[in-house]
């Protein structure tokens, strides 16, 4: 039986793609048939999150993207401006088909949860229709408490079980950074892990840092039965 874990962010640019790649690589290293699924990619080219994951994992089987849109805008807006029919029900059906192809799908979000996706539907609608569990990727510094707590609340209202939170690019350089993980655990009652800034000359090196930072127990929690 296949399962789907949504990797969502509090905003754009928080690190969803590198966390998605790290988790996909970690599961594949353990022999799990895991694959990242990107419903729609805007800003293409040059942006291509699925290609990043595939390169990091060393195989095209590790990721797929269903729709590409050129302008770096919300998918609904980019599609409308390109006169490209982007219908929610069709996108949902395509995502469901792709998620059922593998035993574990990592559904990567697009920006934040309230980003307009297609018609009057938003990213959170697709997440709620496809995934019963999620991991939230957020920034580590000042301001993340409010954004993260609201994101968790929004998912829980849609009956998506948030299994964990990842504070990305964590350096502990400020009081806010050092105290945020503990405060997020207290506020949300969810486990929080931190990923330090990672660097490298290619996607594989970048993802190695993320994969090594996320504990086995954290990833196990994402797929354990409720």
Is 45 a residue whose pLDDT tops 80?
yes
Tokens 């996706």: give the residue: 117
Is 21 a residue whose pLDDT tops 60?
yes
pLDDT confidence tier of residue 94, bands split at 50, 70 and 90: very high
CB-CB neighbours of 77 under 10 Å: 14
Is 17 a residue whose pLDDT tops 60?
yes
Q: What is the pLDDT of residues 188-223, one digit of tens each?
A: 999 999 999 988 778 988 889 999 999 999 999 999
Is 53 a residue whose pLDDT tops 90?
yes
Q: What is the C-alpha separation between 42 and 128, in angstroms, rounded?
A: 21
Name the H helices within the chain: 16-29, 49-57, 75-81, 88-99, 123-130, 144-157, 175-188, 203-213, 216-223
pLDDT confidence tier of residue 1, bands split at 50, 70 and 90: low
For the chain, how many structural domains are there in total? 1
Q: What is the pLDDT of residues 103-151, one digit of tens each?
A: 999 999 999 999 999 999 999 999 999 999 999 999 999 999 999 999 9
Is 59 a residue whose pLDDT tops 90?
yes
Q: Of the candidates 105, 96, 144, which has an alpha carbon nearest to the alpha carbon of residue 222?
A: 105
The DSSP code sequence of 59-115 is SGGGEEES-B-SSSS-HHHHHHHTT----HHHHHHHHHHHHTTSSEEEEE--SSTTS
pLDDT confidence tier of residue 226, bands split at 50, 70 and 90: low
CATH number at residue 174: 3.40.50.300
Residue with the bigger pLDDT between 200 and 48: it is: 48
Is 38 annotated in the active site? yes
Of the candidates 16, 28, 38, 121, the residue annotated as catalytic is: 38
What is the domain range of residue 11? 3-223
């Amino acid at each position: 039986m296949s399962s789907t874990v949504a990797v969502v962010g509090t905003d754009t640019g928080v690190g969803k793609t590198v966390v998605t790649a790290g988790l996909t690589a970690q599961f594949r290293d353990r022999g799990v048939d895991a694959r990242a699924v990107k419903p729609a990619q805007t800003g293409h080219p040059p942006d291509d999150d699925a290609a990043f994951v595939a390169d990091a994992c060393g195989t095209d089987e590790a990721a797929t993207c269903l729709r590409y849109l050129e302008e770096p805008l919300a998918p609904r807006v980019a599609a409308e401006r390109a006169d490209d029919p982007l219908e929610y029900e069709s996108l949902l059906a395509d995502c469901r088909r792709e998620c059922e192809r593998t035993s574990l799908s990592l559904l990567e979000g697009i920006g934040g949860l309230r980003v307009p996706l297609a018609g009057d539907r938003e990213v959170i609608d697709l997440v709620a229709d496809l995934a019963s569990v999620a991991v939230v990727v957020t920034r580590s510094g000042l301001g993340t408490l409010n954004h993260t707590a609201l994101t968790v609340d929004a998912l829980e209202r849609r009956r998506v079980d948030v299994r964990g939170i990842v504070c990305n690019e964590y350096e502990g350089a400020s009081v806010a950074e050092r105290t945020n993980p503990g405060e997020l655990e207290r506020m949300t009652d969810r486990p929080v892990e931190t990923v330090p800034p990672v660097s490298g000359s290619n996607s594989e090196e970048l993802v190695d840092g993320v994969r090594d930072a996320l504990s086995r127990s954290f990833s196990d929690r994402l797929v354990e039965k409720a």
